[in-house]
């Protein structure tokens, strides 16, 4: 009998299954800080987490390719990147049409990739017009230049007018705008609560912040999470990204904290490495997230 060749799709499925089983087999968690005191699982029955994908992971893929990959990996939500839904780069009509392609495929869009705002009212309005046309309730954002009070007041006015939340993204020690989640937290306190955070756990660690503690502290304005792993120590301005479970972050504690606060937004895998062929690594990392969620909350079915 002829041997059946291992197809690419079979390899992807095996990688996803391997990632699923690692946490269940009792793989030792990686550490970022000393014991955080976060429980292994939340007290009381909480809804399961919405596991999804950060669209930047598929930045080299067309929208049709991205949809096909998500279908293969059984990922049902995506924070869309600009190559798929061109917020700020095109018209509201184009953004509406491209977003609808994901929805027609049965995929939800809880947020968008980082939208860079400016001190220009026209720039901000275009972003919100495109976001509304795409049906977004949250846009992950930052600024092209450090915002002053006038820029934040202008942003707050648009948030109220369009009723779209902004989740400001921290980019680590090299970021001149928001290096850590606490920089965002401090900046948004005087303003409408729809101005909030997207915590990038890898960049947070490089900024010297324990992502678990940041999640717990900033829970009231946490609207998006970018999940990744890294080998970079605190203060490193270059991210040494790796698949989930192979770096120095305590993924178990991070996900336990999200369950503890009953986080309603997307926990999006952001797989930034191997951009030309990310799918096998994405499969392993997404499977790892699924397995970790099953280990932490066995009564909850992962998204």
Identify the pLDDT of residue 298.
81
Identify the pLDDT of residue 290.
95
Average pLDDT over residues 116-120: 92
What are the tens digits of pLDDT across the range 17-48? 545 454 444 443 443 443 434 434 433 334 58
Which residues lie across from 167 on neighbouring strands?
A: 140, 196
Torsion (CA) 73, 229, 111, 80 in degrees, nearest 10: -60
Identify the pLDDT of residue 48.
84
What are the tens digits of pLDDT across the range 206-265? 999 999 999 999 999 999 999 999 999 999 999 999 999 999 999 999 999 999 999 999
Q: Assess contact for 57 and 272: CB atoms under 8 A.
A: yes
Q: Quick one: which of 178, 176, 167, 242 has its CA closest to 204?
A: 178
pTM of the model: 0.87
Q: Which domains does the chain have, with CATH numbers?
A: 49-296 (3.20.20.150)
What are the tens digits of pLDDT across the range 180-217? 999 999 999 999 999 999 999 999 999 999 999 999 99
The answer to whether residue 84 scores a pLDDT higher than 80 is yes
Average pLDDT over residues 165-191: 97
Percent of the chain with pLDDT over 70: 83
The answer to whether residue 126 scores a pLDDT higher than 90 is yes
**Angle at which helices 92-104 and 121-133 cross, to 10°:** 30
User: What is the C-alpha to C-alpha distance for residues 110 and 102, in angstroms, rounded to an integer?
Assistant: 11
Which tokens belong to 179? Answer: 């290096």
Identify the pLDDT of residue 300.
66
Average pLDDT value for the chain: 88
């Amino acid at each position: 009998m002829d041997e059946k060749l291992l197809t690419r799709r079979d390899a992807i499925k095996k990688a996803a299954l391997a990632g699923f089983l690692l946490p269940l087999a009792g793989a030792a968690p990686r550490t970022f800080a000393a014991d955080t005191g976060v429980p292994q699982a939340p007290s009381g029955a909480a809804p399961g987490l919405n596991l999804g994908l950060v669209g930047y992971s598929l930045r080299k893929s067309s929208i049709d390719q991205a949809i096909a990959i998500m279908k293969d990996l059984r990922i049902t939500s995506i924070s869309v990147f600009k190559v798929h839904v061109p917020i700020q780069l095109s018209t509201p009509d184009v953004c509406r049409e491209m977003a609808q392609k994901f929805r027609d495929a049965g995929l939800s869009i809880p947020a968008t990739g980082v939208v860079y705002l400016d001190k220009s009212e026209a720039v901000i309005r275009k972003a919100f017009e495109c976001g509304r046309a795409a049906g977004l309730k949250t846009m992950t954002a930052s600024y092209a230049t450090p915002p002053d009070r006038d820029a934040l007041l202008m942003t707050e006015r648009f948030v109220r007018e369009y009723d779209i939340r902004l989740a400001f993204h921290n980019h680590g020690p090299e970021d001149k705008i928001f290096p850590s989640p606490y920089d965002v937290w401090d900046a948004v306190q005087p303003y409408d609560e729809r101005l909030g955070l997207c915590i990038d756990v890898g960049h947070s660690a490089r900024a010297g912040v324990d992502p678990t503690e940041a999640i717990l502290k900033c829970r009231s304005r946490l609207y998006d999470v970018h999940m990744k792993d890294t080998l970079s120590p605190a203060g490193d301005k270059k991210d040494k990204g790796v698949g989930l479970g192979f770096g120095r972050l305590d993924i178990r504690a991070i996900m336990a904290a999200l369950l503890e606060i009953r986080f309603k937004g997307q926990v999006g895998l952001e797989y930034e490495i191997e951009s030309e062929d990310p799918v096998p690594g994405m499969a392993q990392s997404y499977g790892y997230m699924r397995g970790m969620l099953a280990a932490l909350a066995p009564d909850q079915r992962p998204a």
